[in-house]
A = this chain, B = another copy of it.
Amino acid sequence: MAKDKKLVEQITSRDVDFAQWYTDVCLKADLIDYTSVKGCMVIKPAGYAIWENCKNDLDQRFKATGVENCYMPELIPESLLAKEGELVNGFAPECAWVTVGGNEQLQERLALRPTSETLFSDFYHNDVHSYRDLPRLYNQWCSVMRWEKTTRPFLRSREFLWQEGHTVHATAQEAVERTEMMLNIYADFLEKDMAIPVIKGRKTEKEKFAGAEATYTVEALMYDGQALQSGTSHYFGDKFAKAYDIEFTDKDNIVKYCHQTSWGMTTRIIGAMIMVHGDDSGLVIPPRIAPTQVMVIPIQQRREGVLEKAQEILSALKAAGLRAKIDDTDKGPGYKFAEQEMRGIPARIEIGPKDIANGTAVVVRRDNREKSEVLIDQLPEKVKEILAAEQTEMFERAKKRRDEHTYAAHNPEEMKECSENRHGFVKAMWCGSRECEEKIKEVYGFSSRCIPFEQEQLSDVCVCCGKPAKKMVYWGRAY
């Protein structure tokens, strides 16, 4: 058992040093590795398989609303990037630039895409002419590059993977509806599949995306009480259409500017999953998104019949549509348990000679370690029930914790108390001025997370200046 202990001891306790715990889990659960280029990580198979499942899940959801995938180049000429002023101001300082191609110095430097509004807009300029061409509902799955100074695996890396949807519509209303629709898809995906509860809302003017009219966001709370922006959906109005000249002839024969949206979700959500569900034994992956949902672990596997029975169980699980594997390596069972837990596999089945004699096996849930003795021939059905319960309870537990760590501040004193002694979301009324927003950041260390769609009237006055309040805002420290 010394070896098993060692595996778990390799990670720091999350209550002792959350940042170190996070890094330990990323590495020990085999999700990533570092490379010689700062901020550019290797996503190892165990990590990439999670992303593949997120991707497939989201992709189906997108396609069900008529979205089509395409691929835009990864290089953007500086002049094209500069056409829309706010966007270039937002992104140019953190672009990586290609200046040499082959052996020649380029006449114009090319940015590695930090986001692709400019490319899509340039494309739509040529592609859209008539109301018949609208809407265009395009999305791409790709990598992006932003030259961040401080980097952390998944949360803030220079290169990351994402999807970026870019749509173009005949009317503002249709574009706004699409912006909201995609935010709802993100929220539903995070809550149903990732078991991560989210607050849906709108970003303040200060926090919105460079160039957007409005940015909608889903905000989640991590175990350490910090917030994580987990997906955003932007409404651009006709701003890009005017900058890139995207016009169409409408049914009434009048030439009009289009209305656009964009929306994105990134590998960052894997970071969210780690920080919402993980524990001191490692990762905990929600069953719906887990690449391997159940690991069959034979006990005393050299004893006659054990491996055969374990293989039979594996086949039955797979036949029932479960993503199952067997660990029949020559490691000890304790070590195998520790590995399965570290990697966050939602359930394991322990099967040894005694169990076989009884016609049963033990199923152990990863999240709460609950053990169930199950008749072998009922395993597929029971494991499905156990995983369904785990999925639901992981969400409920995270939601309970989020709610318990959401505070209301009615005045500067309560803001101060939250800032000094609470770790979580702080709800407080706001007058709508950038001045107060900046002051709250400066004095209490909280940035505005969002103006939630579900408003509460905590008081009539701004928590900062005492003037009449316009909106309730979620505040917090953020990744």
Contacts and interface: CB of A to CB of B under 8 A. Distances in A.
Interface of A: 33, 35-37, 40-45, 47-49, 51-52, 68-77, 80, 93-103, 109-110, 112, 119, 122-123, 126-127, 132, 138, 142-143, 145, 147, 149, 158-159, 161, 329
Contacts of A72: 35, 42
Main SS at interface, chain A: mixed
B80 A36 contact: yes
Contact of A100 (B41, B42, B109, B132): B109
A72 B47 CA distance: 12
Contacts of A80: 36
A42 B125 CA distance: 13
Contacts of A158: 101
A159 B75 contact: yes
28 contacts: A33-B123, A35-B72, A35-B123, A37-B110, A40-B73, A40-B74, A41-B73, A42-B70, A42-B71, A42-B72, A42-B73, A42-B119, A45-B68, A48-B69, A48-B71, A52-B69, A71-B161, A73-B159, A74-B74, A74-B145, A95-B102, A96-B110, A97-B100, A98-B99, A98-B112, A132-B329, A142-B143, A143-B143
Contact of A49 (B48, B68, B119, B132): B68
A48 B70 contact: yes
Contacts of A99: 97-100
B159 A36 contact: no
A43 B49 CA distance: 25
A91 to B, nearest CB: 11
Most buried by B among A43, A70, A126: A70
The 5 tightest CB contacts between A and B, nearest first, are A40-B73, A45-B68, A102-B147, A43-B71, A97-B100
Contacts of A69: 45, 48-49, 52
A45 B33 contact: no
A120 to B, nearest CB: 9
Contacts of A42: 70-73, 119, 123
A409 B42 CA distance: 50
A245 to B, nearest CB: 14
Nearest to A143: B74
Given A43-B71, A69-B49, A127-B33, A94 B102 contact: yes
A49 B371 CA distance: 45
A425 B400 CA distance: 69
A292 to B, nearest CB: 12
A161 B74 CA distance: 11
A47 to B, nearest CB: 8
* Interface hub of A41, A44, A75, A143 (most chain B Cβ within 10 A): A75
Contacts of A159: 73-75
A52 to B, nearest CB: 6
A35 B102 CA distance: 19
A251 to B, nearest CB: 12
B73 A45 contact: no
Contacts of A143: 71, 74, 142-143
Nearest to A132: B329
Contacts of A93: 102-103
A99 B77 CA distance: 15
